[in-house]
Amino acid sequence: MNLTLKIWRQAGPQAPGEMKTYQVDDVSEDMSFLEMLDVLNEQLNAGGEEPVAFDSDCREGICGNCSLMINGEAHGPEVTTTCQLHMRSFADGDTITIEPWRADAFPVIRDLVTDRSAFDRIIQSGGYISANTGSAPEANSVPVPRDDATKAFNFATCIGCGACVAACPNGSASLFMGAKITQLGLLPQGQPERWSRVVDMVGQHDAEGFGGCTNIGECATACPKEIPLDVISQLNKDLRTAIKHGH
């Protein structure tokens, strides 16, 4: 298949950017979206032009490194990550618009690469549990109901890719925070720091410049791991309870 690509090019964090148009021919429909971009970059290299910078790592949908706003949708038209999106989801002759995540909390470093360290700082501010080091405790000493364990695991599948922020009209990271808050809140190990956790994470989120949630639901639609809006309800409930506890 032959494609026309409109890609955001930006030389550096402070440089002005613009959309540039490229032609890529003979793309196999079995290629992943990133492999298609690899083909484009080989073409650009051969022509002496700077290749397009984009994030990727595991290329199997579990690391959360790849991003890309494809035709106005985070990770493109399928419910998956960009690396697991295949060219068969597009048609021969298509024009595809590719942009970086747009959020002031995720500044563009170059082309399609953004700095998502704001997420690391949100996790650092409260998305953890404190446990003593040393020999591991007896595994069955803290029982966890099966349903809670399953739910916690499902919310722990968040890979921190930032699609929720990219898709949100308000640039809010509520789904990301909610996933971690709900996961740890379901487990006994998450209880001791529960109320300070939510306040510190939300405080960091606000300081990073993310917007407020308006419960529109674009985030849950964009999430490659299908994290539901339930977690934002839990996030709100935990913050409300934390205020009651004087945090």
Partner 1 sequence: MAVTRPTLVKGSQGTRSTIALKITMAASGTIFIGFVLLHMYGNLKAFGGQDSFNEYAEHLRELGEPMLPHAGALWVIRLVLIVSLVVHVWAAATLWKRAKSARSTQYVGRKRHTALSSNTMRWGGITILVFLVWHLLNFTIGKINPSTGDTGDAAGDPYSLMVDTFDLWWMTLIYLVAMVALGLHLHHGTWSALQTLGFTGTAKSRTRAKAAGWVVAIVVAGGFSLVPLATLVGIIE
Closest CA to 231 of 128, 153, 155: 155
Residue 108 bridge partners (DSSP): 114
Q: How many C-beta atoms lie closer than 10 Å to residue 85's C-beta?
A: 24
Asked if residue 37 lies in contact with residue 52, where contact means CB atoms within 8 angstroms, the answer is yes
Strand order from edge to edge, sheet including 73-74? 18-24, 3-9, 95-99, 69-70, 73-74
Of the candidate residues 56, 154, 172, 183, the single one contacting partner 1 (CB under 8 A)? 172
b/e per residue 168-195 (b: at least 16 CB within 10 A): bebbbbbbbbbbbbbbbbbbeebeeebb
- Report the residue number, 45 or 117, with the smaller CB distance to partner 1: 117
Where are any strands of DSSP class E within 81-240? 95-99, 108-110, 113-114
Q: Quote the DSSP letter at residue 204.
A: H
Report the nearest approach of partner 1 to the CB of residue 168 (Å): 8
Report the nearest approach of partner 1 to the CB of residue 144 (Å): 18
Whose structure tokens read 């921190």?
Answer: 160
Report the nearest approach of partner 1 to the CB of residue 28 (Å): 25
Query: Could you tell me how many residues of this chain bind partner 1 (CB under 8 A)?
Result: 62
List the x/- string, 101-130, binding to partner 1 by CB under 8 A. -xxxx-x-------x-xx--x--xx-----
Report the nearest approach of partner 1 to the CB of residue 11 (Å): 13
CA angle 124, 168, 199 (to 5 degrees): 35
Residue 113 bridge partners (DSSP): 110
List the x/- string, 191-230, binding to partner 1 by CB under 8 A. -------xxx-xxxxxxxxxxxxxxxxx--x------xxx
Of the candidate residues 137, 169, 188, 192, the single one contacting partner 1 (CB under 8 A)? 169
- Report the residue number, 15 or 142, with the smaller CB distance to partner 1: 15
- Report the residue number, 130 or 140, with the smaller CB distance to partner 1: 130
- Enumerate binding residues for partner 1 (CB under 8 A): 6, 8, 13-14, 19, 69, 71-73, 97, 99, 102-105, 107, 115, 117-118, 121, 124-125, 169-172, 198-200, 202-218, 221, 228-230, 232-240, 242-243, 247
